[in-house]
Amino acid sequence: MLKLLHTADWQIGKLFGQFTPDVAALLAEARFETIERLAQLATQRGVDLVLVAGDVFDLQGVADRTLYRLFKAMTGFAGPWVVIPGNHDAALAESVWTRALRLKAIPDNVMPCLQPQPVLLESPGVAVLPAPLTQRHTYTDLTEWFAGAETPPGMLRIGLAHGCVQGLLAADIDAANPIAAGRAAQARLDYLALGDWHGARRIDERSWYAGTPETDRFRNNDSGHALLVELAAPGGVPQVEAVATGRYHWHSLEPVLQVPSDLTELVQRLAAFAANDVVNLSVSGRIDLEGHRRLHSAIEQARGTARGVLVDLTGLQLDPSVQDIESLQADGYLGLTIQELRAAQDGPNAALARDALVLLTGLLSDRRAAAARTRP
């Protein structure tokens, strides 16, 4: 019985530039913590080896300190780690991998496969066939050699590749770094460990994407896992278990506000987020002044609780009610200006008009409140 842990797409060094620097730093730090959890998981579950199917690093130019930190994070599992470069950390003539080797940062039990040649592990009796990327984009199938590769009789044959299985994933990524559908069967593989797709996904009974072990984008694709794989004997069907490994949960909300209950529901959802949530909020529809204040307060409270909150209100129109305008005492020119700004939200300068309307009504509201405080 062979037991292995399949993971991929660590993207160490990812910058998360869409967030504020403090949030970005915490998200980047979480990726190291997740590697530590992977090592602990491998040890606790008694696996024979760990397969890392590419994109260990998010870019070639990570700092030397990052290299040392990563390999330190892997020390919790003393067994073999078999690793291939992906499109983000391709095995160029001069790459992050050649630098790591020069620095002697890579432990002896970590085997980066920079050439397409079998890796034979006598114990536990497995031959790993790697297909490392040697450039960011390739247009030929680097797994073709698997079929003709000779391996010792009785050894399990496991493929390790990074790319896009043709005809099965989204059309917009079905181009560079192709992998033929049916490669596992054609190359007599007992298991094909894949990377590049950031969610855990079954391609066929012998071919799986592990996905990234720490979610890094707003996409509902079952990310934040590693795969525990058991193989009883050559030719047997692998048993695959997805194990949650990620710390942060990423949520994308796109509410359309039309009636007061829509806002009430959104406020409740924002209040429910916790410290390990990362939120992307894109609001559209229409809202009155009081609703806008409630929404702004709910967003600020969510930012104080969740790890990160991105907000896009460009699709939201501010629509002051009759009561709003009356309460502002915006008569004459001010009232006319408010009406013009309301109408302008349907034009080419909608965002500018909405921001001006928010500013103007806010100033009028503050003026009214100040006047109320000074009355005898």
Q: Are residues 311 and 253 in the same domain?
A: yes
End of a domain among 198, 219, 244?
Answer: 244
Predicted local distance difference test score (pLDDT) of residue 134: 94
**Dihedral (C-alpha) 157, 163, 168, 169: value to the nearest 10 degrees?**
140
**Structural domain boundaries enclosing 49:** 2-244
Q: Looking at the structure, tell me whether residues 202 and 256 fall in a common domain.
A: no
Q: What is the pLDDT of residue 109?
A: 97
Query: Do 11 and 135 have their domain in common?
Result: yes
What is the per-residue pLDDT for 319? 75
Instruction: Please report the pLDDT score of residue 219 as a whole number.
Output: 86
Residue 144: what residue type? Answer: E
Same domain, 294 and 314: yes
State the first-to-last Cα distance of the chain, in angstroms, to the nearest integer.
Answer: 86
Q: Which of 176, 178, 203 is nearest to 191 (CA)?
A: 203
Contact status, residue 193 vs residue 225, Cβ threshold 8 Å: no
Residue type, 361: T
Q: Are residues 180 and 92 in the same domain?
A: yes
Residues 6+ apart with CB under 8 A from 91: 85, 97, 114, 132, 133, 134
- Do 30 and 174 share a domain, yes or no? yes
Pairing of strands 256-257, 277-287: parallel
Check whether residue 258 and residue 336 sit in a common domain: yes
- Distance, in Å, from the CA atom of 3 to the CA atom of 241, rounded to the nearest integer, reads 11
**Average pLDDT by consecutive 10-residue portion of the chain (376 residues)?**
97 96 96 98 98 97 97 98 97 96 97 97 94 93 96 96 85 71 96 96 97 93 96 95 97 95 97 97 90 92 96 85 60 66 72 70 58 53
Q: Are strands 126-131 and 119-121 parallel, antiparallel or unpaired?
A: antiparallel
Residues 299 and 200 reside in one and the same domain? no
Same domain, 63 and 195: yes
203/342 same-domain check: no
**Model confidence, pTM:** 0.87
Q: Alpha helix (H) ranges present in the chain?
A: 21-44, 64-73, 96-102, 183-186, 260-271, 289-305, 322-328, 332-344, 350-374
**336 and 353 assigned to the same domain:** yes
Q: Which of 278, 273, 283 is nearest to 308 (CA)?
A: 278
Angle at 114 between CA 111 and CA 119, to 5 degrees: 50
124 and 7 part of one domain: yes
Residue 122 CB-density burial (10 A; 0-12 exposed, 13-18 middle, 19+ buried): exposed
- Final residue belonging to a domain, choices 216, 244, 272: 244
